[in-house]
Amino acid sequence: ERTYVLLLIIIVSIGHAFGRSDPKDHDDKSTTHIAFSDLDGTGPYSVYADFRILLVLVSLIGLGGFAPRFMTEQFIAAPQKSEPKTFSTMIWSVKFMHDNNGWSTFDRAATVINNTEADVISFLESDASKPFLGNNDITMWMSEKLGMYSDFGPSTASHTWGNNLMSKYKIVKAVHHLLPSPDGQVGPAIHATLNISGTMVDIVTARNGNYR
């Protein structure tokens, strides 16, 4: 369920394909191949090898862009309040972060959440990582945008509509549960322990299936 792992697999697969293939024969008139004269002018020079090197460099630079995602904690600071053991929570059925016209609402939702100044947030119907929902990781995007710790909740493969948790306080532990529902729809739930100003606080959030 990690985007950078998927991209790494794709890039390695492409690189492996290039590594197994060979340049076309310049003497074969039936093939078309781009070539330049070499530096001393004695023969053709294939750009194939240089292209492979360029591909590797571009891939490494692109993967380097994921490095900050492994160091997100330095950008997350627990809120400073006059009463440190007071915190606010919110829960929102985000409907996969799309409005009634089918447009993405990620940025607008982030603005609304910032205005609430909520410390702990849970999204219901948040699993848009499925192909028919655009392969969007709402949890990763929103937690990076808001500078919060996050837990994706039960995975995409668990046949739920999604339930996640985001917190300005460090998530010490998170346990995922699958709840039954009368019509057979699996309900996702998260039982998490947060370190709020040095006190361990349990948070439970769930989407309880089809019925209220």
pLDDT in tens, 143-178: 988 989 999 999 888 888 899 999 999 999 999 999
More confident residue, 187 or 30: 187
From-to residues of CATH 3.60.10.10 in the chain: 75-206
Inform me whether the pLDDT recorded for 207 exceeds 90.
Answer: no
- The residue to which tokens 């490494």 are assigned: 60
pTM: 0.66
Residue 193, burial from CB neighbour count under 10 angstroms (0-12, 13-18, 19+): middle
Can you state the angle between helices 3-20 and 48-64, rounded to 10 degrees? 170
To the question of domain 75-206 being in CATH 3.90.79.10, the answer is no
Q: Is the pLDDT score of 121 beyond 90?
A: yes
Measure the CA–CA gap between 142 and 32, rounded to whole angstroms.
Answer: 48
Size (the chain), residues: 212
